[in-house]
Structure 1
Amino acid sequence: MQQPDQMPAKVRHYPIINELEWEGEQVLSDIAMQRRCIALSLMQEYTALPSQPSLVPTADGALEAIVFTIPAYAVRGENNPLWKVYKDLILKLPEYTHLYILTHQSVEGMLKQWLEQQNLQPRVQLGVVSDAIEMTVWAEDDFELVYDQDGSLYLLQPHSSRRSGDELASYYACERFGWNRAKVPVYFEGGNLLVGDDFFFLGANYAVDTFYDFAKLLVQDKDLHLKKAMTQVYQQYLDKGRILYFISTNIQLPVEQVRSFNRNGEEWKEVLHLKNGAGTVQPIFHIDMFITLAGRNEDGKYQVLVGDPKMASELLGDNHAIWTIPEAFDDIAALLTRLRFEVIRNPLPLTYVDDEQEKVRKWYFATYNNALVEIKGEADKTVWLPTYGYGCWQELKHTDEENKTIWQHLGFKVVMLEDFHPFAEYSGAVHCIKKYMRRGDGQPTG
């Protein structure tokens, strides 16, 4: 087995964006989360909420409208790798997709100029906020967009956000775009939710958080079982019409770990199991990093892709899967099979990046499951896949192509996107940097 000091150096072929590193510092304590949950619970009777909330599907229907939060740090600077990705993605989206973009005031002119050059302004609504608002690129996480039975749109936020800047950015998104906004006393992040046609998945980590936040209220009814209670709470606020499945593994998982190794006579540190907290029941902190919805097959079974680190290691000829607890991914695949989903496994490589100045090696998933999916009909299906076979990661061209082939076998047109390493090393990809706002038949909406 290849040891850390024997592995080749993998250094960035792109400039690092320091703000992505700093985002992790915007974290509320568990006690603060619980206090806010109680406060929001007291205020619920004063809050206008949808009576029949319905989530926007993750895969089913045309991509009629998408939301992006593009902070200044994602645009500024020569050869900005994040801006390169955004431009590539936006230009590859369907011509009928309307774009809602929230951005910082300092880059408004640059963004408008580029949109004009690409003739995109007719289908873009631009919202601008002060640079003092510390919003991030992770548009997926801070809120859910739901529709009520009368067609009205609500932006729902959990009682708290672990990144306070994103929470404030969502407030301004509602003001700029004319949406209803409401806080609810449950915890969720968009990356831990996937929405099918008649069901939705929720990563169990956040159901556990909500139980601790909300425990005293939940246990008042002694006859109410925990799963039933948690299901009712999330359906009440997020989606009353869909079945809820919690996604979890029974395999005990490690927390984020930092350990030392010697490389070329120098002491280095390597970070494993990035963002895994104590007691986690998910092998990656968000389920959209390793699960992708792919619509129903000819037999009517809903298809779900589940990432497989072992498959990736076998394809690449490395031993990296041993650091991922691959059994946990197998366990979740088996759970979804028991729930009568059609499960397809796809390569999910674990890779690393070396910072030779700081002498730190960081391991992360080059995720293909974190993709965009559009299903307009059995013969009209598209997936937008991030790619990783660049710079020191040329070997990942094999997993780029293998994942493309898997989707093609499922009848999808595959659109290969730009180099997503700059996002993936911070535990995200294309599904994380957008928010689906509206699905439909793809016809112009005016």
Structure 2
Amino acid sequence: MDIIKRAPDFTKLFPTQESFKRAHGDVVAMSDAMLSGDVKASIKALREAADPATLNKAQKTFNMRAFAHELLRTSQFETVSSCEGRIANILITVPSTERGTISARNERHYRRLISLMGGNRTYTILCRPSHIGAIRTWFASIADVQLNFAYSPRFDYSIWAQDAYVALSGKAGQSLLIEGVCFPRFDDMTIADDLSAQTAISLIQSYLYFQGGNVLTSCDQVLIGLDYVWKNITRFGLATQQDVEHEFEAVFGRSVLSLGSDMSSDTYAYDLFRQGIFSGYGNQPLFHIDMFVTPTGIRGDSGKEIVLMGRPSATQEVLGRYCEVSGVDGARIDRYFEPTEQLLSAHYEVRHLPICLTQGDLGGHAAQDYYWLTFNNVIHEEHGAGDKRVYMTTYSEDAALFGTDRALRQDLEDAAASVYESLGFTVLRMDGLEELAYGLGSVHCITKELYRIG
């Protein structure tokens, strides 16, 4: 079973804890140096020279990324909400197998999602030209649906439609994808280019480094995992975390809240990253916040928006243990989620969902590895007045295929469904997504919400 892991290779990036500490220490030292008067003056002069409004006509230089940021600073685009309104246009990317076919398991996931979401919306689909006939059959029983196809016959992109860009929408209904400065996984960096060439979706490239799964939009803010804020600090004109956050705010059209903490001096945390229990660049326990944070768009008794956060301690309440793996200090692992909860609690009412660390080889279909069963990585929408729906991850359906504990997964699914139902959501359960969890993703990761209404 060909499963593409979404996370960066932490061990390759930081082979020793000293290299991990040094990388974070270098950022602090460079940030301090960039705040000196001479360096600030030099950066100011360079920024003015590169500003499209003061372009040096004699040199005839031009920087598209700088132009894109200036355009977005003055535009009325903003990030598509992760929780408000009905999803009017949703993207899926359908990769090809080596035999030129659609994976049967991928097709099963798409079919279940489409049957649950139904019509009264547009589905934008990137695929091989030879796949269009088969894909049309997925919608045979769906009424009031528009299909926008874009073709990519040459590139090997992945199922993870969420990550290579962030979706923005304009006041007049325009859809725009903004790409980060680089995206190293597979050929996914070509997806937005093919979409913009063949559909009405616009494309801009950013100077900033980010990935879509590490960016969520609540009612009032953009939530960004600290990993990718940290990756931008000390780049040109971005001396501090505050500089980076201000630039994200200008580009995304909303205020920004960074989530995470520096774990570079924590030996135990370093070991968790090395083992693959934790993932990312070292500032958040899981490499994308969509794995453990879910804005709901619902106001709690406090008047604040409710955000659901995955905590191993919530798993302990359901199962009587923190995780499915023996010999792991689940209580200690749970504490690494606390800094993110504290940051969220200053702005939101935080409630918990179970998130469960497991280890397995998918019944011999993959290498033995750690992964997380998450119920945060969902899609939800307001389908009409008082009709809130969540398309929720499940795992129990494929327990026999992957040799996993069905009862444990069923208990977690039921507990997560109860949390969503307590907030007024109708819970629509996806099929078994264990192999997506093994790849460090789930249903939110294989889609991209391009436009919402309401």
Alignment TM-score > 0.5, same fold:
yes
Q: 1:254 aligns with which of 270, 274, 277?
A: 270
Q: Which residue of 2 aligns with 1:406?
A: 419
Structure 2 CA distance for aligned equivalents of residues 125 and 417 of structure 1: 23
Q: Which residue of 2 aligns with 1:188?
A: 210
Structure 2 CA distance for aligned equivalents of residues 359 and 371 of structure 1: 24
Go from structure 1 to structure 2 and tell me whether the alpha carbon gap of 1:289 and 1:175 turns closer, same or farther (over 3 Å shift).
Answer: same
CA-atom RMSD in angstroms: 3.2
**Partner SS for 1:218:** coil
Q: 2:312 aligns with which of 291, 298, 309?
A: 309
Which 10-residue stretch deviates more, 121-130 or 199-208?
121-130
TM-score under structure 2 length normalisation: 0.77
Amino acid at match of 1:194: L
TM-score under structure 1 length normalisation: 0.79
Q: 1:44 aligns with which of 37, 55, 65?
A: 65
Q: Which residue of 2 aligns with 1:83?
A: 107
Q: Does 1:145 align with 2:164?
A: no
CA contact (8 A) 1:74 1:82 kept: no
Q: Which residue of 2 aligns with 1:426?
A: 439
Q: Does 1:325 align with 2:333?
A: yes
1:289-319 CA-to-partner distances (Å, cap 9, x unmatched) read: 0001112325431000110112213422445
Uncovered stretches (5+) of structure 1, i.e. residues with no partner: 1-15, 31-37, 220-225, 259-270, 442-446
Q: Kindly state the Cα deviation for residue 404 of structure 1 after the two structures are TM-superposed.
A: 0.4
Q: Kindly state the Cα deviation for residue 333 of structure 1 after the two structures are TM-superposed.
A: 1.5
Structure 2 CA distance for aligned equivalents of residues 297 and 93 of structure 1: 24
Go from structure 1 to structure 2 and tell me whether the alpha carbon gap of 1:161 and 1:399 turns closer, same or farther (over 3 Å shift).
Answer: same
- Identity of matched residues, %: 23
CA contact (8 A) 1:75 1:107 kept: no
CA contact (8 A) 1:205 1:282 kept: yes
Q: Which residue of 1 aligns with 2:20?
A: none
Q: 1:105 aligns with which of 119, 126, 129?
A: 129
CA contact (8 A) 2:175 2:201 kept: yes
CA contact (8 A) 2:115 2:142 kept: no
CA contact (8 A) 1:65 1:98 kept: yes
1:247-296 CA-to-partner distances (Å, cap 9, x unmatched) read: 013554336656xxxxxxxxxxxx5325333xx11000000000011123
Q: 1:96 aligns with which of 116, 120, 123?
A: 120
Q: Which residue of 2 aligns with 1:373?
A: 380
**Partner SS for 1:209:** helix
**Partner SS for 2:88:** strand
Go from structure 1 to structure 2 and tell me whether the alpha carbon gap of 1:315 and 1:168 turns closer, same or farther (over 3 Å shift).
Answer: same
**Partner SS for 2:270:** coil
CA contact (8 A) 1:49 1:182 kept: no
Amino acid at match of 2:120: Y
Q: Kindly state the Cα deviation for residue 375 of structure 1 after the two structures are TM-superposed.
A: 3.1
Q: What count of residue pairs does the alignment treat as equivalent?
A: 390
Uncovered stretches (5+) of structure 2, i.e. residues with no partner: 15-46, 51-60
1:187-222 CA-to-partner distances (Å, cap 9, x unmatched) read: 11111011012211011110111114x2x3234xxx
Amino acid at match of 1:311: A
Q: Which residue of 1 aligns with 2:352?
A: 345
Structure 2 CA distance for aligned equivalents of residues 75 and 384 of structure 1: 31
**Partner SS for 1:182:** strand
Q: 2:238 aligns with which of 218, 225, 245?
A: 218
